[in-house]
């Protein structure tokens, strides 16, 4: 078995707020942490930029237009595990 800890480029993005760029998001933990902070603070005006697309985060932490491949690997992996279709 080998362990792949690489982060796909499709799952790296920039975070912007009302006052400009906040920082770079390079892993799923940072991605979900930002969304939780938006929910807790009922913040507005925050968005991710990935491949030139603005992905707005609403005050509920939702992203309405979710591009394929953008921080969705967890869902993909869980579906494969649940279905028993993990590839070796």
Q: What is the mean pLDDT of each run of 10 residues along the chain (88 residues)?
A: 69 92 91 94 95 93 86 76 68
Instruction: Quote the DSSP letter at residue 19.
Output: T
pLDDT on residue 69: 78
* In a domain? residue 57: yes
> 72: domain range?
10-83
* In a domain? residue 2: no
Which DSSP string do the residues of 32-70 spell out, in sequence order?
HHHHHHHHHHT--SEEEEETTEEEEE-TTS-BSS--TTS
Distance CA(76)–CA(68), nearest Å, equals: 11
Q: How far lies 68's CA from each of 41, 45, 73, 76, in Å? A: 28, 23, 10, 11
Distance CA(22)–CA(17), nearest Å, equals: 6
Domain tally, the chain = 1
């Amino acid at each position: 078995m080998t362990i792949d800890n690489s982060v796909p480029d499709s799952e790296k993005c920039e975070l912007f707020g009302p006052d400009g760029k906040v920082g770079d998001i390079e892993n799923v933990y940072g991605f979900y942490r930002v969304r939780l902070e938006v929910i807790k603070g009922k913040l507005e005006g925050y968005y991710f930029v990935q491949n030139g697309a603005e992905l707005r985060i609403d005050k509920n932490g939702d992203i309405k237009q979710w591009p394929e491949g953008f921080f969705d690997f967890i869902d993909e992996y869980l579906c494969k595990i649940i279905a028993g279709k993990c590839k070796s």
